[in-house]
Amino acid sequence: MNFPVWDPPMIGGGILIGIVAILHVFVSHFAVGGGLFLVLTERRAYAEDDRELLSYVRKHSLFFVLVTLVFGAVSGVGIWWTIGLVHPTATSTLIHVFVWAWAVEWVFFLVEIAAALFYYYGWERLDRRTHLIIGWIYASAAWLSLLVINGILTFMLTPGRWLVTRSFWDAYFNPTMLPSLVTRTAVAIALAGLYALLTAAVVEPKTLRPRVTRYAALWVLAGCAVLPLSGAWYISQIPPMAREISMGGAPAVTIFAGLSVVLSVLIVVVTYFGPYRRPQEASVLTVATIAVLGLAATGVTEWVREAVRKPYVIYGYMYSNALRLEQVADVRRTGLLAQAKWVTLRDPSDPDWRRVGYEIFRTECRSCHTIDGYNGMRLMVKGWREEFVDYQLQHLNELKGFMPPFVGSDAERRVLARWLANLGREEPFSEGLSIADSAASPRQEEAR
């Protein structure tokens, strides 16, 4: 309502955020656990005077730098970019509540990047002790940046006492901050092992492979061992409705939540019976399978975490469509078009009902729905009569618990119902999009 809504045809903002976020999570958690892996493995190689293991760590550190410094760092900025485009209002809230937390995180990130470069370029140059210390600095800074961001992420699902006190500390130390921190740390350790399995599968000399493979598999298993407990702790702290959504309330979310568990169990089983028990037989194919399972598990878990937050983007404070709860009564009183800043028509009884309907849709529904693509409305309302659509709109939050209520005047709701019902009667890619493309005529601009 406050910001213009980006309307790329077919593509939902959720999908864009999802793609960037899942890839980033898969790499950034590796960046955290991988630091610990490097420094502990290096220390072990020194302690056992194992030159082969040391040469493996060096090669792994190049892979590490290429993956985390470039892809990890840039995709992290990419999430920030994407949420700012898709959810500017919510992004603005997170920036305003947490600007100093972001600033602290930035310092850790700075130290992390610098330490990674010194670590990588310091293999020949630095003495063993200094090199190890820099490795520890990297691992600590990386984990500390996770510590900060984790609190901001969990704030969105469980803002806790912040809703009342508006205090930074209540926002940061929110109910799921700790269980999520333990979970993410465990995931980071498991992912460090998973990536190490990949490099171990191709390391030379071949005689080294079984040893490193088994060692890396141990990291995967150790990380996964923590997950059932920390996961249960996390789930016990989330809002009851979020729990219900993931346990039967919304079939798609329930399926994905189940998949998350199944995939994680599969990772443990394959890792245990493959690389851990028979490291000498572990092939590139086996470890690649584990990596794909890991990416899939990360993907569905992050997706569920996002989905259970509905109908909010910040629980109890802001709906997914950027409307703050405190605005609802006022918008109901004045109507949506009177307050929405980026619409061209402000009178719901305007003869150009198609445009009015489309603009209400774009303002209030577009953050989750497209017309013909992702979460497309045309298929959802196919065959629905206008009165039925209007009935649905009146009871949205009761009929679909993961949706916010329709907020606007009765007249606006009826125009939206008419536009939606008409949508369901048309061929795909017709009217709705052509309205989206056509500029308002000068007459309409003047009428404003």
Partner 1 sequence: MIPTLPSPDPVGVPAPIGLLTALLVALLPLHLIPMNVALGGGFVAAWASWRARRAAELERHRYRSLLASFTTALLVSTAATITFGIAPLLFLQVLYGPLYYTSSVLMAWFWLAVIALLMAGYYSYYAFAFHRRDASQRAVLALSGGLLLLIVGFLFTNNMTLMLHPERWREMYVASAHGLHLNTADATLGPRFLHFLTASFAVTGLFVALLAGRRTDDAGVWMRRLGARLFAGATHAQILIGLLFLYSLERPVRDLFLGSSVRDTVVLWTAVALALLATLIVRRRPTVAAALTVATIFGMSYVRHRVREALVAPVFSLDSLKVVPQYGPMAVFAVVLIAGIATLVWMSVRFVRAGPSKA
Question: Smallest Cα–Cα separation from 122: which of 62, 172, 165?
Answer: 62
Does 202 sit near partner 1 (CB under 8 A)? no
Q: Which residues within the stretch 48-77 sit at the binding site for partner 1 (CB under 8 A)?
A: 66, 69-71, 73-75, 77
The residue among 113 and 380 lying less far from partner 1, judged by its C-beta, is: 113
Q: Which residues within the stretch 331-350 sit at the binding site for partner 1 (CB under 8 A)?
A: 341-342, 344, 346
- Least Å distance, CB 113 to partner 1, is 5
Query: What is the secondary structure of 274-328 as a DSSP string?
Result: IIIT-GGG--HHHHHHHHHHHHHHHHHHHHHHHHTTTTEEETTTEETTS-BGGGH
The residue among 37 and 109 lying less far from partner 1, judged by its C-beta, is: 109
Q: How far is CA 30 from CA 70, 185, 202, 304, in A?
A: 13, 10, 19, 20
Size of the site for partner 1 (CB under 8 A): 72
Binder to partner 1 among 48, 59, 128, 130 (CB under 8 A)? Answer: 130
Q: Which amino acid is at 82?
A: T
Binder to partner 1 among 15, 50, 58, 126 (CB under 8 A)? Answer: 126
Give the contact letters, 75-114, x = binds to partner 1 (CB under 8 A), - = no.
x-xx--xx-xx--x--xxx-xxx-xxxxxx-xxxxxx-xx
Q: Which residues within the stretch 5-24 sit at the binding site for partner 1 (CB under 8 A)?
A: 5-9, 16, 20
The residue among 84 and 376 lying less far from partner 1, judged by its C-beta, is: 84
Q: How far is CA 231 from CA 17, 157, 224, 261, 442, in A?
A: 23, 15, 11, 10, 57
Question: Smallest Cα–Cα separation from 146: which of 14, 285, 36?
Answer: 36
Does 122 sit near partner 1 (CB under 8 A)? yes
Q: Which residues within the stretch 298-337 sit at the binding site for partner 1 (CB under 8 A)?
A: 324
Q: CA dihedral in degrees (39, 42, 46, 50; nearest 10)?
A: 160
Residue 372: CA count within 13 A, CB half-sphere: 15
Q: Which two tokens stand for residue 405?
A: 């209520």
Does 169 sit near partner 1 (CB under 8 A)? yes
Does 391 sit near partner 1 (CB under 8 A)? no
The residue among 102 and 353 lying less far from partner 1, judged by its C-beta, is: 102
The residue among 74 and 232 lying less far from partner 1, judged by its C-beta, is: 74
User: Can you tell me the distance from the alpha carbon of 324 to that of 406, in angstroms, rounded to the nearest whole number?
Assistant: 13
